[in-house]
Amino acid sequence: MWKLVLALLFALLVAIFAVQNAMLVLVGFLHWEFEISLALVILGSTAAGALVVFLLGLVQQVGRGMKIREYRNRILRLETELGTLQQEMEKLAVEEEQSKGEGLGVVED
């Protein structure tokens, strides 16, 4: 929630700054030159920066989602393996008890 408030406060400050600097300026990019309001340059640059940050965050979030899916699959595989091993141990314990029980039998002469 605090990030949203901070973002809105920053947007408000940028908008106030842009409106106070609304004069025409000459902008050159590569071989193009044109006159445009400085307010539009400021707002456009801010919007482009926000878009870049959003896209980088999206890439990071997709990567995290893939890691989470990988870890969930690993957990499921390990839980299955653990269950199998526990069943084998129980089976061995039962067999061991049975073999001890057979060894306790009365020996007749």
Tens digits of residue pLDDT in 12-47: 888 888 888 888 989 888 888 989 888 888 888 989
Exposed, middle or buried: residue 27 (CB in 10 Å: 0-12, 13-18, 19+)? middle
Question: Do the beta carbons of residue 14 and residue 43 sit within 8 Å?
Answer: yes
* Helices vs strands, H then E, count in the chain: 2, 2
Task: Name the residue range of residue 80's domain.
Answer: 18-99
Q: Is residue 49 part of a domain?
A: yes
Question: Do the beta carbons of residue 51 and residue 38 sit within 8 Å?
Answer: no
Q: Is the pLDDT of residue 108 over 90?
A: no
Q: How many CB atoms lie within 10 A of CB 25?
A: 13
Q: Is the pLDDT of residue 107 over 80?
A: no
Count of structural domains within the chain:
1
Does this model's pTM top 0.85? My answer is: no
Q: Is the pLDDT of residue 105 over 90?
A: no
Q: Is residue 104 part of a domain?
A: no
